[in-house]
Amino acid sequence: MSRLSDSLRRLAYRLAGRQPSVEDERLVALFRNRAELKKELNAIDDERHRLLDRLKLQEGSTMRVQEQIDSLEQYLGRPDEGLKCLAYYQLRAVWRAGARRLDHFATELARQQKDRDRKVQLAEFERARRARTADVDRELVEARVLADQLQAEQKLARQRLQQLQGFWNYFRRRRLAEAIESRALRIDASLMQVTDLGDRLHEIESEPPPMFEGLSVEGRRAVNLAVIAHAESLCERYAAGGLAELARETTLRRVFEASYGGRDDCLALMQVAGRAIADLDQMQDDLPDIKARTDRMRRTAAYKSATDVIPMQESLQAPDGQGRARPVPNVLLEEFWDVYQALVR
């Protein structure tokens, strides 16, 4: 409103033939500064309220964590419950060791696949460059032969022209001179072609290899199927005694809801879990088994689109259950070992 009144006052001054005074200009500048300061103050006030809201949320989160810690302390204070709690977190450690193993396998496999894709890309580039170089080189040889031939013919024609003396050879000299002039144009064109082809050959030979844009869709699909196969292999490896399933249950329920039997049962389970953790940290990947599982999955794997790299859960058939104590679950459907986090996108 003040800006409008200032504008009207300046307009009235101009209509009256008067110019705004220095004091008037200074007053207008002060009002403008005041408006800008008010805007900044409002923005700072909004930021303050936003930070206060975040602080309240953080305080609420901290209080909930503290309540959980207090409940856990009381829970651990009971001997039987304490053992159950230790068994629960041992199983969580099994799950994390399996997820860590799977993530490391996926990272290494993706690196190897990138190396293979890059080598294939470079090999294709070299083949295409050699083919183009051979084509241009062949054209260059032909152009040089033609230029040499034309220059040799031109040399002979000029010698012939010098030999044609006497007025009776006037018309012959005229025709020969015209031929020499025409051939000179052809020689210039052929020499220009030789130069152009030489430049093109140099450009082709100097071309840098293309940038590697990352794994192809097929490469990422191959890595992901192998990772899923590895997760299935780990699941079957620790299926004895239901260890893999018990480890998965720790991601679905809280420690207070867990139940593993009495003291002896908890101690036995902790021993089994401890051996599994050590095994996961030291084991060698069973590559033939992983390859066999990957080949089996590849036969049925289906994707939502041509660019999707994670197969649909229902398209991965479980292995034959014959000879197994318990069926192997669909690890992608049940997200064993946090398999989705290990998959490449």
Asked if 223 and 91 sit in the same domain, the reply is: yes
Residue keyed to tokens 């049940």: 334
Cα dihedral across residues 289, 292, 295, 300: positive or negative:
negative
Residues in the chain: 345
Cβ pair 244, 234 in contact under 8 A: yes
Q: Domain total for the chain?
A: 3
For 293, phi then psi, to 5°, come to -65, -40
- Identify the pLDDT of residue 4: 46
pLDDT at 320 over 80: no
Q: Give the domain extent around 63.
A: 2-74
Cβ pair 183, 154 in contact under 8 A: yes
Q: Hey, what are 238's tokens?
A: 């620790």
pLDDT category, 102, cuts 50, 70, 90? very high
Asked if 253 and 326 sit in the same domain, the reply is: yes
Amino acid present at 195? T
Asked if 311 and 196 sit in the same domain, the reply is: no
- Identify the pLDDT of residue 20: 57
Asked if 110 and 232 sit in the same domain, the reply is: yes
Tens of pLDDT, residue by residue over 35-83, are: 788 888 888 888 888 888 888 888 877 787 776 666 666 666 666 677 8
Task: Tell me whether residue 54 is exposed, middle or buried, using C-beta atoms within 10 angstroms of its C-beta: 0 to 12, 13 to 18, 19 or more.
Answer: exposed
Asked if 108 and 226 sit in the same domain, the reply is: yes
pTM for this predicted structure: 0.66
Cβ pair 98, 285 in contact under 8 A: no
Whole-number Å distance between alpha carbons of 98 and 103: 9
Tens of pLDDT, residue by residue over 124-152, are: 999 999 999 999 999 989 988 988 998 99
In a domain, 8, yes or no: yes
In a domain, 336, yes or no: yes
* Strongest mean pLDDT among 194-198, 221-225, 251-255: 221-225
- Identify the pLDDT of residue 176: 82
Asked if 185 and 266 sit in the same domain, the reply is: no
